[in-house]
Structure 1
């Protein structure tokens, strides 16, 4: 079934709300009395100094462990009593906050979020408890081929950039962090700065009107310290490193593969989504799944897509297989990579992929949290307000020739780098 370019696109009316010097995007919906708000700063783990990996992530986790005179237990009780969800996190390129609450509890949610951002306690026992948890996670991640392979893959792809370091920290870096360094990490990330790609971005969804959100923004964010954020180092191109093996005692090997992608503002971004849906997307129709799983039984699942870092897309994928068949799997993977680069997708594959991507779009917006997160991602990627509404027409307009040209530009077999963690045979 082909996509109809004249059919109305998925409608998600978005309002631009300004209040107290802040700008937010709002998808208002009063069908249920729930409000979700998400906000983000650029930076995150990219701003952690060398040797302090994990500082931003650990500091973010500690923000809800007591603030404004409330102990960790009292703060948790205050959230639980009102059914409030409040989270902070630091990824490789951003520092994020979000809250979700019933409409009557929204003032309390805003108050607690403001305290967490401006008066976090960072008490010694809480730091010790969350540090121990983070160290345990760091150790556990290196016990198997998946975690060890991932660390080696990113370190090889970005050897001289924070993107190549573990954003959650290592056992050694986490153990050495001081409370002063954790407070400094918050100071590097949390600022009252203008919106835009290089500033504080806010999005909201649910049972709140534009005037109510305009009044709420300064309550939530107005007490943040003024100032600019330190700029993370520019992201270099993903470095081609060929094939590397990370020895791990395991009956299976975990494979990560990747190459440079395209930036989020590339005119062919959505053509790339179509091509990758056909080559490596979900379901059993993807070429890699058919060739590697269905026809040869080499893996249970395989997929690849564009991983966005600092506005740049890095094409990455992964799978696992028994050690004895690693060489065979890689041969098939490279052959399918090259076949798509050389020939592009077929017209039938294009039609099926576009129909699926168009028809499944509304499923991404089943609750207020997902909607707020999507609006935030749209702002981060510089998308216009009508991006979602016009997406079906843009997808339908992608012809096979455009997709084939994009495939030849995007999929470069000679640039495909592979990390194999395990005891592989046949390489």
Structure 2
């Protein structure tokens, strides 16, 4: 799900936050203390305190058709952001891989009286932006426009028609299928993609998360217009929708806006939640591919989005491999040994248990040793836990960058969509960082050990079969990486 966040940027992120307060591209978080009009605050004025996050004051209600609404009034800019999130991702494909993706991709290809060109021109002439996408858990459709009634009303009318009454024209369906099929051919030349496909298949088996969101070469050609219509009627129903709205609107204007959108959607209830997957068979598999580097992917089942250990696992993973430079993985694998350009780990928490993954690529002749090193680093981290310094440094970094999660209307509408879709508490953004800051070393260590087991890893590698060499010893000045762009 394409579900890849802005909490990593530290002081650079804070500088961006300051810029956002004056660019008017979007609404930004208020300053940490009162400032004179037109005056930019410096980081020194924070005096060691974490910058403040916007007070969202989330309002929520349900439409007559059953859609869940989350609204934040943001009068700072004369615009609004609207996002519809449906439980209509590939996990709902029901044996037809790619059905959810094609349905979402076809939304703006035709409506009664308008083809794709007329739809695009309609939004463009209003200065409005339409966007959409489909992932494993969800499908989304979004609108950004000025909030003045002469712009808002026609933009909203067109958006409601696109989301509620797509005609799925045959010519557009054929064109998009051809594009998807061409993408499958490209994937065959990408060892990282091949490894990812096999990893999810091995990790999830018969579970709906196992197959790729884009479908496959067999399923896509067979999908017909009638299947898209049936999926839309079921999965894009108002009762299956979360409507997130942020902008320069009163409560009454917001209620009228979402009522119009909700009424335009098909009538129907929320779809059942995805069942939890069964634990996979651990072990390694290899894809032979003629490349200079080998892709390494290690994974096991992680957590769902409502797991009570989410905050502890988020913090623990930031220290281990989720925070970029300065993490255990980057320090040991790249900085001390020069084995990779980047190595990362992360929990993808979804409706059901999403994966915990570690991925990197390294020189083919060093792949076996690098794989063992990463496994040893994970085992050591689970046994020892983070140091107090690692914990304190990461907490400080997260506190400094957290305001970016609500620094713009676009960021806020994304947060509202997540809160609504995963049924998180309305005060989630307030409580999450408090939970993170309250954690100690033993709590983080215990949470990571509860959910991860180095002996249960599913491992997929993709690269050439070559004679292996021993790893270089750790050094303050490791050998330089080879020049050029790494293979992907």
**Common fold: TM-score over 0.5:** yes
Residues 5 and 225 (structure 1), Cα distance of their counterparts in 2 relative to 1, 3 Å cut = farther
Shift of 1:55: 1.5
User: Which position in structure 1 is the counterpart of 2:61?
Assistant: 18
Q: 1:125 aligns with which of 171, 177, 180?
A: 171
User: Which position in structure 1 is the counterpart of 2:269?
Assistant: 228
Deviations 1:191-237 (A, max 9, x none): 121xxxxx421211122222211111111111322223543651314
Residues 401 and 412 (structure 1), Cα distance of their counterparts in 2 relative to 1, 3 Å cut = same
Residues 116 and 42 (structure 1), Cα distance of their counterparts in 2 relative to 1, 3 Å cut = same
User: Which position in structure 2 is the counterpart of 1:213?
Assistant: 254
Deviations 1:388-417 (A, max 9, x none): 223332222101111121122233111122
Preserved contact between residue 39 and residue 96 of structure 1 (Cα < 8 Å): yes
Deviations 1:60-94 (A, max 9, x none): 11111121211111111101111222223221121
Preserved contact between residue 17 and residue 210 of structure 1 (Cα < 8 Å): no
Instruction: For 1:221 and 1:140, locate their aligned partners in 2 and report how far apart those are by CA, in whole Å.
Output: 39
Shift of 1:114: 1.4
Q: Unpaired runs of 5+ in structure 2?
A: 1-9, 11-46, 470-488
Q: 1:35 aligns with which of 80, 88, 103?
A: 80
Deviations 1:341-396 (A, max 9, x none): 10100000000011111110012233222210111112223322222223332222
User: Which position in structure 2 is the counterpart of 1:179?
Assistant: 225
Q: CA RMSD in A?
A: 2.3
Q: 1:241 aligns with which of 262, 267, 282?
A: 282
Deviations 1:315-340 (A, max 9, x none): 11211112111111111101110111
Matched, 1:44 2:89: yes
Shift of 1:117: 2.3
5 Å-filtered alignment, 1:36-115, equals 36-50=81-95, 52-104=96-148, 105-115=151-161
Shift of 1:9: 5.7
User: Which position in structure 1 is the counterpart of 2:350?
Assistant: 309
Preserved contact between residue 5 and residue 396 of structure 1 (Cα < 8 Å): no
User: Which position in structure 1 is the counterpart of 2:474?
Assistant: none
User: Which position in structure 1 is the counterpart of 2:18?
Assistant: none
Deviations 1:3-35 (A, max 9, x none): x99978623323324364244222222222221
Instruction: For 1:6 and 1:295, locate their aligned partners in 2 and report how far apart those are by CA, in whole Å.
Output: 33
Preserved contact between residue 58 and residue 134 of structure 1 (Cα < 8 Å): no
Runs ≥4 in structure 1, deviation > 6 angstroms? 4-8
Instruction: For 2:142 and 2:285, locate their aligned partners in 1 and report how far apart those are by CA, in whole Å.
Output: 38
Residues 261 and 372 (structure 1), Cα distance of their counterparts in 2 relative to 1, 3 Å cut = same
Preserved contact between residue 58 and residue 182 of structure 1 (Cα < 8 Å): yes
Matched, 1:299 2:344: no
Shift of 1:314: 2.1
Instruction: For 1:317 and 1:12, locate their aligned partners in 2 and report how far apart those are by CA, in whole Å.
Output: 35
Residues 240 and 289 (structure 1), Cα distance of their counterparts in 2 relative to 1, 3 Å cut = farther
SS of alignment partner, residue 349 of structure 2: strand
Instruction: For 2:73 and 2:310, locate their aligned partners in 1 and report how far apart those are by CA, in whole Å.
Output: 28
Q: Unpaired runs of 5+ in structure 1?
A: 194-198
Matched, 1:151 2:197: yes
5 Å-filtered alignment, 1:408-419, equals 408-419=449-460
User: Which position in structure 2 is the counterpart of 1:319?
Assistant: 360
Aligned residues: 420
Instruction: For 2:354 and 2:165, locate their aligned partners in 1 and report how far apart those are by CA, in whole Å.
Output: 36
TM-score by length of 2: 0.81
Instruction: For 1:81 and 1:358, locate their aligned partners in 2 and report how far apart those are by CA, in whole Å.
Output: 41
Q: 1:287 aligns with which of 328, 337, 340?
A: 328
Shift of 1:124: 1.9
Deviations 1:28-49 (A, max 9, x none): 2222222111121224212213
Instruction: For 1:141 and 1:188, locate their aligned partners in 2 and report how far apart those are by CA, in whole Å.
Output: 31
Deviating more after overlay: 381-390 vs 321-330: 381-390
